[in-house]
Amino acid sequence: MAKRTPRPKKPGKSRVGEPPKVYEHKEEKLLLRPDVGLQPQFKAKKPPKTYRYDPSLDPARSEVLLLSEGFEADSHAGVIALLHREFVRTGKLDRAQAAALERAWKERGQAEYEAGAEFTQARAGQAVERAGRFLRAVEALARA
């Protein structure tokens, strides 16, 4: 077997015998650094926005229609499927009204679960308008 020869050392300072350098935390000198979540040196916090509740967007409205006919759904998707089967196919409810409910359900899912989803105020206004038309159609069916 061949004998290994040691590599020559690079010229320079030898670290043997030098005391270790003490690391300085620069953050310690920031005296105005607040605790996490607290920012007393900034402007006062704005009050949280409040929104008016719109009952036309309530999924319980369509469930009431189903319950009045003796049907019960376990999920939003089940409500939509039952509405199509029992009311749209039979002609009791306009297909556009049921499509408005389904579209609102999909858009709600996008707004809640998709990071890049954008909804303008105009688009939200259209959704509320469609929901209002759906609500009026459901109320007319419930009275009949």
pLDDT in tens, 51-102: 665 655 566 677 777 887 888 888 878 888 888 888 889 888 888 888 888 8
Task: Give residue 31's pLDDT band: very low, low, confident or very high (50, 70, 90).
Answer: low
CA distance 24 to 134: 66
Under DSSP, is residue 35 helix (H, G, I), strand (E, B) or coil? coil
Distances (CA, A) of 33 to 2, 37, 38, 56, 73: 62, 11, 9, 47, 53
CA 10, chain centre distance (Å): 58
Query: Which CATH code is given to the segment(s) 55-143?
Result: 1.20.120.330
Mean pLDDT lowest for which of 14-28, 30-44, 90-104?
30-44
pTM of this prediction? 0.51
Task: Give residue 29's pLDDT band: very low, low, confident or very high (50, 70, 90).
Answer: low
Mean pLDDT of the chain: 75
Distances (CA, A) of 63 to 26, 71, 135: 60, 8, 12
